[in-house]
């Protein structure tokens, strides 16, 4: 897209860092380069060597070689600091769009610990953490969500510059699991439900031509859409089709109750109501085109509703298990993946 | 770089930008203090004080006690410091003044150390400060100070990069130590084999700085001042026997022109050529008649040699008979090699015209000395005059003293006839005066006499208090002969040194409290000081003095005839191989680390078991799914498989504390064994059934 080289680079990296919720870092996928300071340090070594040559000073030679060798040693040190670590996405977070959504990672050290490990995604960065050898550490990385829907940081970068900051070694984890950003709650106006209360009508999605409709005269406050205009044309009477149980069901939160509003806004209204009702412990059901959640109460129900609101009309990100074939054998330690959260 | 900093700091002026970890900063400050110490004798006091002030300013700012200066104040400080610097250092541009200016710059940098980037800038310039220090001091102790300073810097960097690392400083130092130990072999190889090129361009190291040592003029009191210093002048190693104490006359230069009270060189030395002295005179094993001299920097061109020597190494040449010179002033320690030839003075007959200048005397002054000379001349020949004069010194009440009285008018007269107390310079001057007045060509020789054996007795240490002045006279038929009036007055001085000669007076190093030589009668001090000198000497000979010539010499002894080009290849090879080995080692460690991850191994075994049971692992499959598939395939192992899967899950997804317990691992292994048995049993059963 941007330029062929970037694409190619990206592909090359993606091959080395396949999508997985668990990434073990080794030579295969650790990248290491000098930092800016490291480059200046290299320059300094050259200047020192020139000084040594010019003044025929053995000790300057000696210190140049010593610092140069330490630089190479630091390279291994920095690399080893990262390799052997395992980073797993333990829990992908949920939250309201616009907030930072926490993704919980577990950093597990191998035989050697990791010092000053930095985790970062595109726009957030954590303070460096240390993990002692043989132990694990949970860190929570906030990922900023702009829109409702599935949320997944494309790449989470793990980096270390220890010990001297002259070199940086880094790699990525490209999580499979997705987090969810709920629609941002927006206080909803009073609304009507279009959903039938009865069990058998739960799937009702058709609106027009329904026999159950009671017909009554138009009165102040009825929406103009509800007016049966055909009949008006025929008879000149403004009548309104009143669906059964229309007002009698405070349980139902209905997507169709906000005609005229943008879809996203409707979802935001619903999110607000779900949140409000869920917190007050009330019973409620959720009606979305194509998806109905039976009335219930409790935090689990609320979460489920919010999740459905978040992902309504969206596809899960592709590439959830995209991996070139034939790489399985080489991939030690990443045969298990976190079970994809089963959603109904 | 400072320009960039300034631009960035303008928008967030004030002290908000200071967010460096205090401990890291402290290490940097410690290192700065340490790296300034080798410069203390070179730098003016105010400069050191200013550096201390600037560093403490930064330190106080760290704790919010003061604010770092704003742009205007900072510029003010900078301009005024540079102004003072320019006013004080009037000398022209040289490495010395440049180094001092560099120190000023380092000091100023403290005021704008706000961000991590500034920290690195400071790190780099402090590393370079250590480099600059090596230009001026190469003794082992100073080298250690420098390397320690650099180690502090590296520790500071580690603290900067992991400020809240648990465990305090121990792991940091241990890590640095381990890295250091691992790099030593490659550093040594590089040091030995890296080709020593000749300088690309040359800048004189020091110009016009006073150093302790012999100068090219001699006023009567001069050498007795020098006698109060125990600084080392040079060291010498002999291929064969060391000469006896009384024969250790190290000639430096002749003073043949008497100007009032002061002896000078009659022929001024030519303008000093720019550039550096060749410091390396090492060429192979010492022959029995050869000796190596390692001269401390003098900033002069003269080299000291025993009487009757010839130059062997090519960094030194014979300027006039028996006097040796370097091509350039010795501004750093110089090693040169000489050979002794029989020990006789150059005795070629000289043309009377050439001798004329050794008869020069001032027009008037010291009438009694002249009178004495005339009386001697009237009755005796050259040789008897000399003998009589020495007898006079031996028999009359002349004293050798470091506390001679002031003899302002007609000094030679009052020395010879009234006071009769003086130091070698007095007697040498007086003797030359009388000989010249008697018509015998004579000259004052300045150099050193004596030298203490170093630890192990295999080399000599000659110190400033061994400075000596004596006389050479030209006698027809004999040529130049050495006459040492001091030997007649105080034979101990010549036989065993100044300490014994002034033992009664107690004036040996009376102003130098700190010198270990002063306490040489304490055996331990003497021993320690000599041991230390030996270490230092070896350091200077083999490490500091390891330069082109020594390298070629060493290489020539290796098989294969190494030249410069081969050395280059070899160095490249060493670097390459070193990197390769390091890479292999770390790869090996990594693999071992993997193999020892018990958990992963158990899981892999399980996968193999599943595969052998006809349930190969699918990609992205969770342990539970795999377990249920296995349960379908092998109902006998269903329970254990599910349990196992749960354990795997809990390993990955339980809270951190429970992870990776060895107890759990053991249980998993047991479970796996059970599962294997179950699978096998059921398979044999089905196998039987199908038969």
Task: Tell me: do A131 and A235 sit in the same domain.
Answer: no
Q: Give me the residue from A40, A73, A138 closest to B183, CB to CB.
A: A73
Residues of B in contact with A114 (CB under 8 A): none
Give the end of a domain, one of A118, A150, A178. A178
Residues A261 and A171 in one domain: no
Query: A37: which chain B residues are within 8 Å (Cβ-Cβ)?
Result: 117, 120
Rounded-to-integer distance, Cα B121 and Cα B116, Å: 9
* pLDDT computed for residue A338 by the predictor: 41
Tokens of A138: 């949970």
Q: Are residues A225 and A303 in the same domain?
A: yes
Q: A169 and A229 share a domain?
A: no
Do residues A253 and A148 share a domain?
no
Which residues of B are identified as catalytic? 424, 468, 484
Domain end among A150, A178, A206: A178
Residue A134: closest CA among chain B residues belongs to which residue? B660
Q: Which of A108-117, B145-154, B608-617 has the lowest mean pLDDT?
A: B608-617
**Residue A342 domain flag:** no
Interface of B with A in 549-588 (CB under 8 A): 578-579, 582-583, 586-587
Domain boundaries, chain B: 2-163, 218-358+424-431+440-538, 598-690
pLDDT digits (tens, 9 = 90+) for A217-237: 776 656 666 677 777 788 777
- Top mean-pLDDT range of A29-43, A121-135, A230-244: A29-43
In a domain, A273, yes or no: yes
Q: What is the pLDDT at residue A177?
A: 87
Evaluate the omega torsion of the peptide bond into residue A163 and state whether it is cis, within 30 degrees of 0.
yes
How many domains does one find in chain A? 2
Q: What is the pLDDT of residues B274-324, one digit of tens each?
A: 556 666 665 677 888 889 898 988 888 889 999 888 888 888 888 777 788
Q: Give me chain A's average pLDDT, please.
A: 79
- Give the gap in angstroms from C-alpha B96 to the nearest C-alpha of chain A: 13
Region A46-72 average pLDDT: 92
**C-beta atoms of B603 and A47 within 8 A:** no
Q: Are residues A41 and A153 in the same domain?
A: yes
**Whole-number Å distance between alpha carbons of B61 and B489:** 66
Establish if A263 belongs to a structural domain. yes
Which residues of chain A neighbour B128 with C-beta distances below 8 Å? 44, 47-48
Cβ contact, residue pair B199, A72, below 8 Å: no
- Nearest CA of chain B to the CA of A105: how many Å? 10
Burial class (CB in 10 A: 0-12, 13-18, 19+), A120: middle
> Average pLDDT in the B534-543 region?
85
pLDDT in tens, A307-326: 899 988 888 776 544 433 33
Is A232 found in the same domain as A171? no
A171 and A278 fall within a common domain: no
Task: Point out the least confidently predicted range of A193-197, A286-290, B148-152.
Answer: A193-197
Look at A338 and B593 and tell me if their CB atoms are within 8 Å: no
- Do A68 and A116 sit in the same domain of this protein? yes
Which of B37-51, B261-275, B569-583 holds the top average pLDDT?
A: B37-51
Query: Which of A58, A62, A336 lies at the smallest CB-CB distance from B648?
Result: A336
CB pair distance less than 8 Å for A56 and B276: yes
| Mean pLDDT confidence for B225-236 | 85
Q: CA-CA distance, A73 to A86, in Å (whole number)?
A: 23
Average pLDDT over residues B102-120: 89
B390 pLDDT above the threshold of 70: yes
**Same domain for A229 and A174:** no
Query: Measured between CB atoms, does B70 come within 8 Å of chain A?
Result: no
Backbone angles phi, psi at A25, to 5 degrees: -100, 130
| Statement to judge: residues A24 and A140 lie in one domain | yes
Taking the Cβ of residue B196 and every Cβ of chain A, the question of whether any pair is shorter than 8 Å is answered with yes
Q: Tokens at residue B259, please? A: 């100007």
Check pLDDT > 70 for residue A343: no
Domain housing A161 = 4-178
> Chain A closest CA to B261's CA: distance in Å?
40
Is B152 or B542 the better-scoring residue by pLDDT? B152
- Rounded average pLDDT over B326-348: 76
* Contact criterion met (CB < 8 Å) for A333 and B150: no
Judge whether B670 is closer than 8 Å to chain A, CB to CB: no
Q: Tell me the nearest-neighbour CA distance from A196 into chain B, angstroms.
A: 39
CB contact under 8 A, A110 and B332: no
pLDDT tens by residue, B27-52: 999 999 999 998 887 888 888 999 99
- Output B89 or B304, whichever has higher pLDDT: B304
* Range of lowest pLDDT (B351-355, B521-525, B603-607): B351-355
Residues of B in contact with A137 (CB under 8 A): 656
Strand runs labelled E in B504-573 = none
- Taking all residues of chain B, what is their mean pLDDT, rounded to a whole number? 81
pLDDT value, residue B504: 76
Quick one: CA dihedral B99, B105, B106, B107, positive or negative?
positive
* pLDDT band, residue A205 (cuts 50/70/90): very low
B-chain CB neighbours of A336 within 8 Å are 603, 621-623, 648, 652
Of A26, A53, A335, the CB nearest to B197: A53
pLDDT score, position A199: 42
Helix (H) or strand (E) holding B316: strand B316-320
Percentage of residues in chain B with pLDDT exceeding 70? 86
Query: Both A36 and A154 in a single domain?
Result: yes
Q: Do A88 and B652 touch (CB under 8 A)?
A: yes
CA distance B220 to B430: 10
A143 in a structural domain: yes
CA pair distance B171, B175, nearest whole angstrom: 6
* Residue A193 counted as domain residue: no
Nearest CA in chain A to B541: A58
Closest-CA distance, B121 to chain A, in angstroms, reads 8
In this structure, what token pair is assigned to residue A42?
């290299």
The residue-averaged pLDDT of B136-148 equals: 91
What's the pLDDT band for B143 if we cut at 50, 70, 90?
Answer: very high
């Amino acid at each position: 897209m941007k330029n062929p080289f970037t694409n190619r680079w990206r592909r090359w990296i993606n091959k080395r860092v396949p999508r997985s919720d668990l990434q073990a870092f080794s030579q295969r996928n650790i990248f290491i380069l000098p930092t800016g300071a490291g480059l200046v340090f290299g320059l300094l070594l050259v200047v020192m060597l020139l000084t040594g040559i010019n003044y025929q000073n053995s000790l300057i030679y000696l210190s140049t070689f010593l610092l140069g060798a330490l630089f190479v040693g630091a390279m291994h040190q920095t690399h080893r600091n990262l390799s052997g670590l395992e980073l797993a996405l333990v829990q992908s977070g949920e939250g309201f769009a616009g907030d930072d959504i926490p993704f919980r990672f577990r950093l597990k050290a191998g035989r050697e610990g990791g010092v000053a490990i930095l985790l970062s995604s595109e726009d957030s960065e954590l303070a460096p953490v240390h993990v002692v050898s043989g132990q694990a550490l949970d860190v929570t990385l906030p990922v900023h969500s702009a829109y409702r829907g599935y949320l997944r940081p494309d790449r989470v970068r793990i980096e270390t510059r220890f010990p001297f900051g002259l070199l940086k070694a880094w790699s990525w984890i490209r999580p499979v699991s997705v987090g969810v950003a709920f629609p941002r709650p927006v206080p909803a106006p009073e609304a009507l439900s279009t959903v039938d209360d009865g069990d058998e009508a739960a799937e009702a999605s058709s609106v027009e031509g329904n026999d159950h409709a009671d017909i009554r005269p138009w009165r102040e406050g009825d929406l103009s859409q509800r007016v049966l205009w055909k009949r008006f044309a025929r008879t000149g009477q403004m009548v309104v089709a009143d669906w059964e149980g229309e007002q009698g069901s405070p349980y139902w939160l209905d997507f169709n109750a906000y005609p005229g509003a943008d879809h996203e806004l409707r979802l935001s209204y619903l999110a607000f109501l779900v949140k409000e009702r869920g917190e007050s412990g009330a019973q409620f059901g959720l009606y979305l085109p194509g998806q109905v959640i039976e009335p219930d109460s409790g935090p689990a129900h609320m979460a489920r509703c919010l999740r459905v609101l978040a992902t309504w009309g969206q596809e899960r990100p592709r590439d959830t298990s995209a991996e070139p074939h034939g790489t399985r054998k080489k991939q030690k330690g990443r045969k298990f993946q976190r079970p994809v959260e089963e959603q109904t | 770089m400072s320009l960039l900093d300034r631009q960035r700091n303008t928008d967030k002026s004030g002290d908000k930008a200071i967010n460096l970890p205090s401990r890291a900063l402290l290490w940097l400050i410690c290192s700065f203090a340490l790296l300034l110490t080798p410069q203390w004798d070179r730098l003016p006091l105010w400069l050191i004080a200013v550096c201390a002030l600037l560093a403490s300013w930064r330190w106080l700012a760290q704790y919010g006690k003061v604010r770092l200066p704003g742009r205007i104040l900072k510029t003010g400080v900078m301009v005024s410091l540079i102004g003072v610097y320019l006013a004080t250092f009037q000398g022209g541009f040289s490495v010395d003044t440049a180094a001092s200016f560099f120190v000023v710059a380092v000091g100023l940098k403290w005021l704008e150390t706000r961000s991590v980037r500034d920290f690195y800038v400071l790190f780099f310039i402090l590393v370079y400060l250590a480099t600059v220090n090596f230009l001026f001091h190469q003794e082992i102790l100073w080298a250690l100070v420098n390397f320690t300073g650099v180690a502090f810097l590296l520790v500071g960097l580690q603290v900067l990069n992991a400020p809240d690392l648990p465990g305090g400083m121990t792991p940091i130092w241990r890590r640095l130590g381990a890295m250091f130990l691992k790099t030593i072999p490659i550093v040594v190889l590089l040091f030995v084999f890296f080709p020593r090129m000749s300088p690309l361009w040359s800048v004189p190291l020091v110009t016009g700085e006073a150093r302790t040592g012999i100068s090219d003029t001699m006023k009567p009191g001069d050498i007795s001042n020098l006698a109060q210093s125990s600084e080392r002048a040079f060291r010498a190693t002999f291929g064969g026997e060391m000469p006896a104490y009384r024969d250790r006359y190290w000639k430096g230069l002749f003073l043949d022109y008497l100007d009032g009270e002061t002896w000078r060189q009659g022929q001024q030395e030519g303008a000093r050529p720019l550039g550096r002295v060749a410091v390396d005179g090492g060429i192979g094993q010492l022959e029995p008649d050869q000796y190596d001299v390692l001269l401390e920097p003098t900033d002069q061109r003269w080299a000291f040699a025993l009487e009757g020597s010839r130059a062997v190494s090519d960094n030194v040449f014979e300027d006039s008979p028996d006097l040796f010179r370097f091509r350039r002033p010795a501004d750093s320690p110089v090693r040169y090699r000489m050979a002794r030839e029989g020990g006789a003075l150059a005795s070629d007959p000289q043309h009377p015209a050439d001798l004329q200048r050794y008869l020069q005397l001032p027009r008037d002054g010291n009438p009694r000395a002249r009178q004495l000379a005339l009386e001697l001349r009237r009755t005796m020949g050259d040789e008897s005059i000399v003998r009589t004069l020495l007898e006079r010194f031996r028999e009359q009440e002349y004293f050798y003293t470091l506390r001679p009285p002031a003899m302002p008018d007609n000094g030679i007269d009052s020395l010879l006839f009234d006071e009769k107390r003086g130091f070698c310079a007095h007697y040498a001057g007086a003797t030359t005066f009388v000989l010249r007045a008697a018509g015998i060509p004579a000259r004052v020789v300045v150099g050193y006499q004596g030298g203490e054996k170093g630890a192990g007795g295999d080399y000599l240490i000659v110190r400033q208090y061994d400075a000596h002045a004596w006389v050479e006279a030209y006698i027809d038929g004999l040529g130049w002969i050495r006459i040492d009036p001091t030997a007649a007055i105080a034979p101990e001085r010549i036989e065993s040194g100044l300490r014994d000669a002034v033992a009664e007076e107690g004036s040996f190093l009376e102003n130098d409290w700190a010198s270990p030589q002063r306490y040489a009668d304490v055996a331990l001090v003497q021993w320690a000081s000599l041991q230390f000198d030996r270490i230092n000497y070896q350091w200077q000979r083999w490490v500091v003095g390891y330069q082109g010539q020594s390298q070629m010499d060493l290489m020539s002894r290796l098989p294969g005839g190494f030249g410069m080009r081969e050395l280059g290849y070899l160095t490249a090879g060493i670097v390459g191989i070193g990197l390769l080995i390091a890479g292999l080692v770390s790869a090996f460690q990594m693999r071992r680390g993997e193999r020892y991850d018990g958990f992963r191994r158990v899981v892999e075994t399980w996968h193999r078991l599943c595969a052998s049971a006809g349930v190969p692992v699918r990609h992205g499959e969770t342990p539970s799914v795999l377990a249920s598939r296995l349960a379908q395939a092998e109902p006998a192992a269903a329970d254990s498989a599910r349990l196992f899967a749960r354990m795997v899950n809990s390993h990955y997804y339980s809270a951190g504390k429970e992870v990776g317990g060895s107890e759990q691992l053991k249980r998993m292994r047991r479970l796996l064994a059970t599962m294997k048995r179950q699978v096998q049993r059921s398979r044999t059963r089905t196998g039987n059934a199908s038969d």
